[in-house]
């Protein structure tokens, strides 16, 4: 058996060597004549690289034929200039990585799916050429109601709005490179059990990866292993733009193992997202808050993140809007600053970790923050906050805790404070420091505080 196998391979190689010169003499490039077994080739429909098909009639005919026959499509290397494509119910298109380029010619719609049952795009360069899109086309790829969506190993550039707009869909976006979108790289709205993995998203105008819902509810998206960099906030505002990964009204979302840098506002921002997990992310040089869980959420696990460079580190706040129930543990927060992209009354910067209600803050290391290491509560908005086992150093106030009338309970124990220039623990009425160092003087005057066994050096 082994001998026959070897002979067969030798014969195959010999025949291939004999065939390639004949192909070359016929004027064909052997690399571009390769096809995927069982697939339709664009050349079968007279679609040649470099040709312009403004009405996309041949391309559309190929798509519909492949859909009806349940066959994939192979696009050989080259540039395909098309526009106005409505994808049929079953589409699988594959190219050659880095060599098959599909370019939008600019008639208001590029690749649009509405009710497509299965869509798979692989190994393509998708180029929007920064051309105009209709009002009903928010994305270079506008994909609505696609229950089986897969886009992988594609490069998507030149989107004049969103690069990928995925609405009410399920599936997976993985190993794609997205850059230069005028709005955001990926926008997943009202999706369910979606996966956004191992993509590179960079140099976008207003956002990196957005997971949103129109009404608050279960979403279940996993955002993992992505690299997000250089996200601007050209649309302005105080946080709705400029975020690397943004969760809005989407519950049960997991954001983990992402590398996020140089975002105008926040690396990971969860607004009204309950049961969110934000774990093991690397957040560098955020313009405002590095990690936010805010407004109308119940349940946030924020752990194992490394934050280096931001205006504020981690915030689990807005108890006045129903924001509560968080565990903030095992994070490193360092090298913060007092300035952010905007100034606003009542907004303070240079704070390591903030929490307000039903929160455990433990095992974190906070270093080199210019205002407060920990902020517990804000005015009367504090209830059941536990800060234990943290290491806080190089900050004016190690822990700022609310002593306003009506504030709920807080426990501050077994923390280590080092190089705190004003106080290890101090009571605040809103932003005003009104006590001495409670780590030394005790909290006998404040029945709602339990302070003890902290080390100050």
Question: What does the longest C-alpha to C-alpha distance in the chain come to?
Answer: 95
Question: Domains in the chain, please, with CATH?
Answer: 98-456 (2.160.20)
pLDDT tens per residue across span 314-342: 999 999 999 999 999 999 999 999 999 99
Q: How far apart are alpha carbons 181 and 157 in whole angstroms?
A: 7
Q: How far apart are alpha carbons 83 and 220 in whole angstroms?
A: 34
Q: What percent of the chain has pLDDT over 90?
A: 86
- Please say if the pLDDT value at position 455 is more than 90: yes
- Residues 442/417, Cβ–Cβ less than 8 Å: no
Mean pLDDT of the chain: 92
79 pLDDT band, cuts 50/70/90, is: very high
- Residues 171/116, Cβ–Cβ less than 8 Å: no
pLDDT tens per residue across span 111-141: 999 999 999 999 999 999 999 999 999 999 9
Q: What percent of the chain has pLDDT over 70?
A: 91
Q: DSSP string spanning 164-208?
A: EEEES--EEEES-EEE--SSEEEEEES--S-EEES-EEEEESSEE
12 pLDDT band, cuts 50/70/90, is: very low
pLDDT at position 4 is 43
Average pLDDT over residues 369-374: 98
Average pLDDT over residues 44-49: 86
- Please say if the pLDDT value at position 177 is more than 80: yes
- In terms of pLDDT, which residue wins out, 3 or 149? 149
- Please say if the pLDDT value at position 13 is more than 50: no
What pTM value is reported for the model?
0.91
52 pLDDT band, cuts 50/70/90, is: low
- Please say if the pLDDT value at position 219 is more than 50: yes
């Amino acid at each position: 058996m082994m001998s026959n196998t070897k002979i067969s391979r030798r014969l195959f190689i010999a025949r291939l060597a004999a065939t390639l010169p004949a192909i070359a003499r016929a004027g064909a490039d052997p690399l571009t004549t390769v096809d995927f077994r069982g697939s339709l080739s664009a050349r079968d429909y007279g679609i040649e690289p470099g040709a312009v098909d403004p009405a996309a009639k041949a391309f559309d005919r190929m798509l519909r034929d492949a859909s009806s026959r349940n066959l994939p499509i192979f696009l050989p290397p080259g540039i395909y200039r098309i526009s106005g494509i409505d994808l049929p119910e079953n589409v699988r298109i594959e190219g050659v990585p880095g060599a098959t380029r599909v370019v939008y010619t600019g008639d208001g719609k590029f690749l649009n799916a509405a009710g497509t049952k299965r869509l798979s795009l692989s190994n393509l360069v998708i180029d929007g050429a920064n051309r105009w899109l209709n009002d009903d086309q928010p994305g270079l790829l506008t994909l609505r109601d696609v229950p089986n969506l897969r886009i992988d190993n594609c490069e998507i550039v030149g989107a004049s709005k969103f690069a990928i707009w995925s609405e009410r869909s399920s599936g997976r976006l993985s190993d794609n490179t997205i850059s230069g979108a005028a709005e955001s790289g990926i926008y997943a709205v009202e999706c369910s059990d979606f996966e956004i993995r191992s993509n590179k998203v960079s140099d976008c105008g207003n956002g990196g990866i957005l997971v949103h819902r129109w009404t608050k509810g279960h979403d279940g998206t996993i955002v993992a292993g992505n690299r997000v960099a250089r996200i601007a906030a050209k649309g302005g505002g105080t946080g709705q733009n400029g975020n690397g990964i943004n969760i809005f009204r989407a519950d049960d979302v997991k954001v983990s193992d992402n590398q996020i840098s140089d975002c105008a506002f926040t690396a990971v921002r969860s607004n009204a997202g309950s049961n969110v997990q934000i774990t093991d992310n690397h957040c560098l040089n955020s313009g405002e808050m590095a990690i936010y869980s805010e407004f109308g959420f119940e349940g946030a696990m924020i752990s194992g993140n490394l934050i280096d460079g931001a205006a504020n580190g981690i915030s689990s706040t807005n108890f006045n809007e129903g924001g509560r129930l968080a565990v903030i543990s095992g994070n490193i927060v360092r090298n913060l600053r007092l300035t952010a992209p905007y100034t606003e009354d009542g907004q303070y910067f240079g704070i390591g970790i903030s929490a307000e209600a039903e929160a455990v803050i433990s095992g974190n290391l906070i270093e080199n923050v210019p205002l407060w290491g920990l902020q517990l509560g804000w005015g009367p908005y504090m209830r059941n906050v536990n800060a234990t086992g943290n290491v806080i150093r190089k900050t004016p106030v190690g822990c700022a805790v609310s002593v306003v009338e009506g504030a709920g309970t807080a426990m501050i124990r077994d923390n280590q404070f080092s190089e705190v220039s004003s106080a290890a623990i101090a009571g605040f009425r809103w932003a005003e420091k009104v006590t001495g160092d409670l780590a030394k003087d005790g909290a006998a005057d404040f029945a709602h505080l339990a302070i003890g066994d902290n080390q100050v050096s």
